[in-house]
Amino acid sequence: MRSGCGDSEVRALAKADELTRSQETEFAEEHDRLFAEAKKSGDHLAVTSHYYSVMSAVIDEYFGGNFHFAPPKKANMTLNDALLDLHRKIGEKLGLKEGKSCVDIGCGIGGVMRDLAVTGADLTGITIAANEVEIGGLALLTH
């Protein structure tokens, strides 16, 4: 049994990135190997990094870069608008403004930080997946 890598995720991965069947199998086998090592050692860094090295693209494509959810407050409010509203409320609660600093630990591809950039605060994101840094950096260039 795989932890965090179900068949539906592998299928979504294949659709998002158009992986070949052998690439899907290679990903699943490597994930299983890394998970077995993690169970023995108690260190899940490698298996978690491996998972997000591929799933980040799926999360970005299907969830707009945010792997959390906020219910819309109005009937005509989109999910993206609800998330932006949530992120702005977080920024307000944290008192983010120019001259303030904030660290987002587990930032993924930086969706929350992109939404909070308007505060002028110094925002730093930390993630364990190198590809999330790359995806987030590219998104910042086009934001």
Give tens-digit pLDDT for 50-64.
888 888 777 777 777
CATH no. of 79-142:
3.40.50.150
Q: What pLDDT score was predicted for residue 3?
A: 47
Q: Which residues pair with 101 in a beta bridge?
A: 122
Measured between alpha carbons, how far is 61 from 42 in angstroms, rounded to an integer?
Answer: 31
Give the tokens for residue 132. 């999330």
pLDDT at 18: 60
Q: Does the pLDDT of residue 22 top 90, yes or no?
A: no
Element (H, E) at 104: strand 101-105
Tokens of 112: 């929350």
Tokens representing residue 100 in the block: 């303030």
Mean pLDDT of the chain: 83
Residue 26 has pLDDT above 90, yes or no: no
H or E segment to which residue 123 belongs: strand 122-126
CB atoms within 10 A of CB 140: 13
Please name which of 60, 62, 59, 81 lies closest in space to residue 70, comparing C-alpha atoms.
81
Tell me the pTM.
Answer: 0.68
pLDDT at 1: 37
pLDDT, tens digit (0-9, with 9 covering 90-100), for 100-119: 999 999 998 888 999 999 99
